[in-house]
Amino acid sequence: MAQNILLIAGGDSSEHKISLISAQYLMQELSVNPEFNLLSVVLHDGKFQFADGSYGYFTCGRQFALVAPDGTKCEVTIDCVVPCLHGFPGETGDIQSFLELQGVPYIGCKAEASRVCFNKVTTKFYLDALKIENTPSIFVSDSDEASLKAVHEAFARFGHDVYVKAASQGSSIGCYHITQEEELDQAIRDALKLSELVLVEKTIEHRELEVAAFEYDGRLVVTEPGEIVIPSDKFYTYDEKYSKDSGTTTTVEVEGLTPVQREMIKSMATRAFKGLKLRHLSRIDFFLASDGTVLINEINTFPGMTPISMFPKLMEHIGIAMSDFLTESIRNAIAEQRSRA
């Protein structure tokens, strides 16, 4: 009997459009399995909307009502959800909490891990507690006199070169590279408009490396790193990341790493995945500093799945088909939910 798989894309974050592109790729990969009956919706303004103008909503438990444009209604039972949502409400843990309350199986990290990792400040708290190297930083929750004084002191301590980052936004949203002290206060105020906490992080001269860390065949797999190569005159903004005119390139074959550095990356990714209680999939981003130090930059609990995204490239590079990974994750999510019932 076919299983009803609900693929949810969109959301109301700044990464709505990228989520739709990711969902197209996942739809293609999920379609490989004839056992799946796919329902693809876009979450917007609190509604699960279908392309034909109909919409849906959960009624009781796994029961999902489908309402056609003419008002006629039917119900189906959802066997598993694939929450392809970058930013709110997917990577923030909100959709996971909702699905948990409904008793609906879903793939990906659970609510707490999603919430912790989406906030750059709490991510650092966990990494520090796990003794995993990350970039020196401070954070503030307001722009009053005491907070701004602390920021200026950190600016001097960090060599007059920092990144000001809205803590609860995507990696390229609300992020400002500051080298002039007179620009600091405004950057803090701008970032606070996007997030309740703001991170002020020391700039590290680095190479940007990423690994895919995921569960497959009963084990945790951490791939060899790929690299994001950014033009020297660019900052990896949202536009630079996704624009068709971007000069940034990616590679899954990274040169110039020592065996020790490769082992450190794998060990740190493993400790982060297990220590922060991640599930099914993640992309873990690293800085390889110019002095050879390896630092974790951030953790993505539902990484991009666009044609240029590193997670699917790294998985495919080691010979694992995304369709097989999705099938196993769905089966595991359903089995886990049944064991709890």
Q: Which amino acid is at 88?
A: F
Measuring CA to CA, how many Å separate 80 from each of 61, 67, 102, 136, 245?
A: 12, 20, 12, 40, 37
- Which residues does residue 295 pair with via DSSP β-bridges, in sequence order? 287
> What average pLDDT score do residues 260-280 get?
98
> What average pLDDT score do residues 294-323 get?
95
Q: Which amino acid is at 43?
A: L
Q: Domain-by-domain residue ranges, the chain?
A: 3-108+329-340, 116-133+205-320, 137-202
pLDDT, the chain, mean: 93
Instruction: Extract the tokens encoding 57.
Output: 């909503």
Residue 317 has pLDDT above 50, yes or no: yes
Instruction: State percent of the chain over pLDDT 90.
Output: 87
Same fold, 3-108+329-340 and 116-133+205-320: no
Please state, in angstroms and rounded to a whole number, the distance separating the CA atoms of residues 107 and 215.
Answer: 11
pLDDT per position as a tens digit, 37-70: 999 999 988 889 999 999 999 999 999 999 999 9
Q: What is the structure's pLDDT at 240? A: 46
Q: What is the structure's pLDDT at 1? A: 77
Which of 4-18, 26-40, 68-82, 186-200 has the lowest average pLDDT? 4-18
> What average pLDDT score do residues 217-245 get?
72
CATH of domain 3-108+329-340: 3.40.50.20
Does this model's pTM top 0.95? Answer: no
Domain 116-133+205-320 belongs to what architecture? 2-Layer Sandwich (3.30)
CATH of domain 137-202: 3.30.1490.20
